[in-house]
Amino acid sequence: MNRFVLCLLTVVAFGSCLKLPSSFKKCDRKRTDFNQCLSESIYGAFRILNKPLPSHGLPSLYDVEFPDLEIVLGNSTYGLLHKYDRFRFIGLSKPDKINAKLDFGTLTIEATYSQITIEVDCEAQGTIVLLPVNVITSSEFTFVDPTFTFSFELEEYEKGTTYFKVVDSNFDMQTQSVKFDYKQFFSNKILNEEFNSAMDAKSRQIFALFKSTEVKYAPLFGTIVNDFLKKIPVSEFFDG
């Protein structure tokens, strides 16, 4: 699995024996402009990881796969059961803007984008009105002007030196609209295109139905970040 947000604390090193690249902007926690500096550092780290960084064992954040994630909605007995898996996020390394803050041990990163595309496989069984449906199809959901907010509650602990660990995590998605592209939900091409068009027209209402699935992402992000933080001392992240 590609590892999303391995660089959320703006570090692009895979182990404590590696040095940060010269482009890394280290921030002083005692300065009043610390959160502004942190935002700039994280923005730079995202951009650096538009491509993999093999020397530090880091994958690209541009194309991130979550093949183990599964989301199930609906009921095949009384309507339509649809299952989504094999998620790929395209474009996470290219935020337009990052606002980050570290406050009382909680790191919050708000990343805004022009566009994020999620590629996913969809399996659907049941009925739409009275029309039977039994299909597996690849799909693309394009988020227009989205904002992704990651929140990690951090604690410091000692192991020869001071490290961070993630003790809780949250994730939130907001978007202006979503463009749906189910590649072959219906075998009839015209019907399939009209179905996608109808989904686009109601995208904000449909997106609201998916909001409850955000809880699926939060612990996944938390585990990934925690696995990374245990390798890097706090002193590597910040001055002061």
Of the pLDDT bands very low, low, confident and very high (cuts 50, 70, 90), residue 14 is very low
Domain membership of residue 34 (yes or no) is yes
List the domain range (segments joined by +) for residue 156: 27-239
Highest mean pLDDT among 13-27, 37-51, 176-190: 176-190
Q: Which of 2-6, 102-106, 205-209 has the lowest mean pLDDT?
A: 2-6
Q: Nearest to residue 120, comparing CAs of 72, 174, 189?
A: 72
Which is more confident, 4 or 179?
179
Of the pLDDT bands very low, low, confident and very high (cuts 50, 70, 90), residue 2 is very low
In this structure, what CATH number is given to the domain that contains residue 228?
3.15.10.30
Domain membership of residue 84 (yes or no) is yes
Domain membership of residue 16 (yes or no) is no
Domain membership of residue 35 (yes or no) is yes
Domain count, the chain: 1
Of the pLDDT bands very low, low, confident and very high (cuts 50, 70, 90), residue 221 is confident
Which is more confident, 178 or 55?
178
Query: Whole-structure pTM over 0.85, yes or no?
Result: no
Contact 124, 94 (CB under 8 A): no
Domain membership of residue 7 (yes or no) is no
Domain membership of residue 18 (yes or no) is no
Q: Nearest to residue 136, comparing CAs of 78, 71, 74, 183?
A: 183
Domain membership of residue 5 (yes or no) is no
Return d(Cα 57, Cα 12) in angstroms, integer: 9
Return d(Cα 235, Cα 83) in angstroms, integer: 44
Domain membership of residue 17 (yes or no) is no
